[in-house]
Structure 1
Amino acid sequence: MQTMVNPTDSTPAATDHANDHRAEAKSRFSKALDEAKAGVAELKAEAMEKSGSYKDRAGEKGEQLKGDAAAYGEQAKAKAYELANDTKSKTSEGMVALSKLITDNVATVDEKLGVKYGDYARSAAGSLEKNAASLDEKSLEQLGDDAREYVRKSPGTAIAIAAGAGFLLARLFRRR
């Protein structure tokens, strides 16, 4: 049976008993505090492990996406190069066809408008054939270099040509 100690009691037995309770309370509090600290440390370690795992997975996914983007970029570059070569080839074929059409109709121009205009038509047909051959012979890189050089030499003319081409393309696509 426990005896109740009056807190106002100042006898040595009561003081010892109160000190024992305080020591026990301090001990329990210290244990609880130590357990809480251990729990926090354990949670921190677990959180660090999970965050490291997430970081690793995010890094792997990022690298995978980066590789996919590079692959798609290379595919797009190859397709653009292929389309540019096809366009260059078709442009050259169109120029040759136009040249032949003009050449086939030069006799009619001579009859209806005169030899002077027929000579202009022959000259235009010859220029078209020459430019078509030059276009076929050059690579896309050479054509790009030529275009850059032309723009450096005649920026005003280049802007006017670009504006005219843009206008024609806009009208062409607006009708469809």
Structure 2
Amino acid sequence: MVDPTVTAGNGTESAKNHFTKAVEQAKAGAQALAGEYKDKFSQTKDEWTSEAKVKSEEAKEKAGTFAADAKVKAAEYAVEGKAKASQAIVGLSKVIDDNSALIDEKVGAKYGDYARTASKSMQDAAARLDEKSLEDIGEEAREFVRKSPGLAIGIAAATGFVLARLFRGK
């Protein structure tokens, strides 16, 4: 006769072996699955990174193009503004010159001469403005600010006040 405890012990042992093998197979399967997903994730991450780099380069290129266009437009407006400023100075000079005879009559010849001198100075300033490039004007402005920062701030404030009053309409 067979001892039931020995048979039961062999069955328990066999079940433990099967269970251990099943756990090992499950672990191996889980590791294989994790490796597969890790590879897929890595590949997807690489694709997203590549795509992001391409988009970034496109954005940089568009920004560079926009900046270049803006620089060209700003230069065009600056040249146009310089020409208009010169024309305005010449126009004001002509008005003063045209009225110098009236100033002679009303106030005196001495003040008429002052007006003519001012008119001539304004015409000379307009001619110098026309002759200079924007770079030269910019450099002179920077040099002026370096030499007299307080005066530059005062002129900027006064100009801002006059422009504000002019555009506000009062």
Same-fold call, TM > 0.5? yes
Which of 147, 154, 166 is 1:172 aligned to? 166
The unaligned stretches of length 5 or more in structure 2 are none
Q: Does 1:137 align with 2:131?
A: yes
What is the letter of the counterpart of residue 29 of structure 1?
V
Deviates more, 1:83-92 or 1:163-172: 163-172
SS in 1 for 2:144: helix
Alignment of 1:1-176 (within 5 A): 11-175=5-169
1:83-136, Cα deviation, whole Å (9 max, x unpaired): 011000000011111111111221111111111011001000000000000000
Q: What TM-score does the superposition give when structure 2 sets the normalisation length?
A: 0.93
Deviation at 1:10, TM superposition (A): 6.4
Measure, in 2, the Cα distance between the counterparts of 1:110 and 1:51: 86
- The aligned length equals 168
Measure, in 2, the Cα distance between the counterparts of 1:123 and 1:69: 51
Deviates more, 1:19-28 or 1:125-134: 19-28
Measure, in 2, the Cα distance between the counterparts of 1:78 and 1:94: 24
What is the letter of the counterpart of residue 129 of structure 2?
L
1:144-165, Cα deviation, whole Å (9 max, x unpaired): 1111111222222111100101
The unaligned stretches of length 5 or more in structure 1 are 1-8
Deviation at 1:30, TM superposition (A): 0.8
